[in-house]
Chains A and B, each alone.
Chain A
Amino acid sequence: MLTLTPLEIEALLLSLRIGIVSVIFSLPFALAVAWLLARRDFPGKSLIDGIVHLPLVLPPVAVGFTLLVLFGRNGVIGAFLYDWFGLTFAFNWKGAALASGVVAFPLMVRAMRLSLELVDRKLEAAARSLGANRLRSALTITIPLMSPGILTAAILGFARSVGEFGATITFVSNIPGQTRTLPIALYVLTQVPGSDAATWRLAILSVLIALAALIGSELIAKRLSARVRGTE
């Protein structure tokens, strides 16, 4: 019970890798979109807001199917990426990371937008009056003050990525070592008669990862917000 089987280790490491990579690549975009939605007014803003939130409300299978159409080897974007950069998302772990990132994206945008809206813009004005240009004011005032929100977004995105199932299996299928993540392995086991014990082990493993991520983020977020409020 205490040692994991090679199959379990493979699924676990794959899930962690996909979770981390998808967060690293989608976080900057999510921050940019959060900034746009919180700070800018432009025509079509509600449309962008709606599109960003689509993965939250669409059936994950629909998201996976859309990704397949767009990013498959013959898809509009997929073909372009393959021809120009030799990059393909079809049926490999990068595709799984893309699917996870897309599904986690709205959660990350929401968390960061909220924390950005709570940053006192008067502090930015003070920074500007002290000679800081927009970029310096963003890097030294805004981003540090919203760092608890960025952390929350990262953890939330990671947890959502690790748990991603529908979009992933639709987009990149179930390939051992490439796209067979924890939830997919778990699903496969539920389909095999007499594998209750193995199913339980994976289910418990998933719960542990999720709990560790959430508790860890709670602790760090607390310290971080005490730091930025200067009460520590």
Chain B
Amino acid sequence: MIEIAIQKQLGQFALDVDFAAPDTGITALYGRSGVGKTSIVNALAGLLRPDRGRIVVGDEVLFDSARRIDLPPERRRLGYVFQEGRLFPHYSVRGNLLYGAKRGGQGGPNLDTIVAILGIENLLDRRPASLSGGEKQRVAIGRALLASPRLLLMDEPLASLDAARKGELMPFIERLRDELKLPIFYVTHEMNEIVRLSDQLVLLQDGKVAAVGPVEELSSRFDLLPLTGRHEVGSVIRTTLRGHDTSFGLSELSFPGGRLRVARLHATLGTAIRVRIQARDVVLATAKPEHLSIRNAFAGKVVDLAPPRGPVVDLRVDIGTEAQPVLLWARITLRACQDLQLVPGKPIFALVKTVSLDRHSLGRYEADEVD
């Protein structure tokens, strides 16, 4: 368990958080810029001293103002991947990678393994100044890992990269999670990174924790809608890969209540897949649709409606079973909502276009979490 309960006054801004996170998987710290995400990881790393509070990782107290404990950063054994990489310009890539490796002793990851996972064999003798943004971030990740951390902190590691580089780097982060079994605290303001990577979500607002929980749960919660993002409203559902339709290049994902077709996935059957479905990609119908190109149609009922904003309204519909509800956000116009007389409890069909679910909407997660 990782417990963080800290208070810190930073000028006009007050950080006051208290939450716990599991010491497995990826915990995402999510919120708009300036909500204190980076301050929290800095406090964890020992680079920012809280005014009051307590930080515990596993069974070691890193900070406790009441007991006057404040471990210096070098004794906390946390890896930190900074947003800007922060490679040492006067060291080679190899020198950077090995800078913290002494601490590991035996049992830590070795250089060859990390270099192979990150694909940086050809960069070892180069200087950081000659690397591209994506290469720098991979070296920064490798450097943090080689110091044998018990927890990896990543502060928007993809933020300074363009979309193509982001797509390149995400699989590496997935491999850290899946192969090295290293717990990760991941700071981001990108919902699709969270869907792809994280299991646990810590939602922050104005220096406080608004909610903590599994990504699927928080993304379907009504009250958190303003935080999970007006523009990015969507839900996350857990599915299992059930089959492939090779002739049409499709894969089938099952969830309680239905099957979802998506573009062919390269994963073994039974893999747990998390799917993010944006509210604006969901179409609602009051009768079973025919003669339509949409392949994903799920029977369900309206759960509730958010207060309308301008011409649009967001609704939650349940397309799961009695025992296991699966909540889906749908964004439609107010006009359509009134024409179809959508009220809580009304049976509907929810339609999702397969092509709207691209690679960034799909993320793998630990299969043993499937219930």
Beta-carbon contact of B74 and A230 below 8 Å: no
B90 within 8 A of A: yes
From B125-133, B193-201, B245-253, give the one contacting chain A.
B125-133
Beta-carbon contact of B74 and A122 below 8 Å: no
Can you name the residue of chain A whose Cβ is closest to the Cβ of B76? Answer: A129
CA distance A59 to B78 in the complex (A): 55
Q: Smallest Cβ distance from B79 to chain A, in angstroms? A: 7
Measured between beta carbons, the chain A residues less than 8 angstroms from B143 are 130
Measured between beta carbons, the chain A residues less than 8 angstroms from B73 are 125, 128-129
Beta-carbon contact of A132 and B99 below 8 Å: yes
**Which of A128, A130, A141 gathers most chain B CB within 10 Å?**
A130
**Residue among A126, A128, A144 making CB contact with B46, cutoff 8 Å:** A128
**Residue among A122, A129, A145 making CB contact with B90, cutoff 8 Å:** A145
Measured between beta carbons, the chain A residues less than 8 angstroms from B346 are none
B221 within 8 A of A: no
**Which of A120, A122, A126 gathers most chain B CB within 10 Å?**
A126
- Interface positions of B from 62 to 121, Cβ below 8 Å from A: 72-80, 82, 84, 86, 88-90, 99-100, 102-103
A131 within 8 A of B: yes
- Interface positions of B from 127 to 168, Cβ below 8 Å from A: 127-130, 143-144, 147
A123 within 8 A of B: yes
**Residue among A140, A144, A230 making CB contact with B129, cutoff 8 Å:** A230
B4 within 8 A of A: no
Considering only CB atoms and an 8 Å cut-off, how many residues of chain A contact the other chain?
22
Beta-carbon contact of A129 and B99 below 8 Å: no
**Residue among A123, A132, A140 making CB contact with B74, cutoff 8 Å:** A132
The number of A-B residue pairs with CB atoms under 8 Å apart is: 72
B45 within 8 A of A: yes
Beta-carbon contact of A129 and B45 below 8 Å: yes
**Residue among A131, A140, A231 making CB contact with B103, cutoff 8 Å:** A131
B47 within 8 A of A: yes
**Which of B47, B74, B79, B103 gathers most chain A CB within 10 Å?**
B74
Q: Smallest Cβ distance from A37 to chain B, in angstroms? A: 23
Can you name the residue of chain A whose Cβ is closest to the Cβ of B130? Answer: A230
**Given A125-B47, A126-B86, A227-B90, A131:B100 Cβ within 8 A:** yes
Beta-carbon contact of B100 and A130 below 8 Å: yes
Considering only CB atoms and an 8 Å cut-off, how many residues of chain B contact the other chain?
29
Beta-carbon contact of A230 and B46 below 8 Å: no
A229 within 8 A of B: yes
Measured between beta carbons, the chain A residues less than 8 angstroms from B47 are 125, 128-129
CA distance A227 to B147 in the complex (A): 25
Beta-carbon contact of B102 and A122 below 8 Å: no
Beta-carbon contact of A122 and B89 below 8 Å: no
Q: Smallest Cβ distance from B108 to chain A, in angstroms? A: 11
A127 within 8 A of B: yes
Beta-carbon contact of A129 and B78 below 8 Å: yes
Can you name the residue of chain A whose Cβ is closest to the Cβ of B104? Answer: A131
Chain B, residues 305-325, CB within 8 Å of chain A (1/0): the string is: 000000000000000000000
Q: Smallest Cβ distance from A115 to chain B, in angstroms? A: 14
Q: Smallest Cβ distance from B38 to chain A, in angstroms? A: 12
CA distance A179 to B100 in the complex (A): 51
**Residue among A123, A145, A227, A229 making CB contact with B86, cutoff 8 Å:** A123
Measured between beta carbons, the chain A residues less than 8 angstroms from B45 are 129
A208 within 8 A of B: no
CA distance A228 to B87 in the complex (A): 12
The 10 closest A-B pairs by CB, nearest first: A130-B100, A230-B127, A131-B103, A128-B73, A230-B129, A129-B80, A126-B86, A230-B89, A228-B90, A131-B100
Q: Can you offer 27 A-B residue contacts whose CB atoms are under 8 A? A: A120-B86, A122-B82, A122-B86, A123-B86, A126-B86, A126-B88, A127-B88, A127-B99, A128-B72, A129-B73, A129-B80, A129-B100, A130-B74, A131-B147, A133-B72, A133-B74, A140-B99, A144-B90, A145-B89, A145-B90, A228-B89, A228-B90, A229-B90, A230-B89, A230-B129, A230-B130, A232-B127
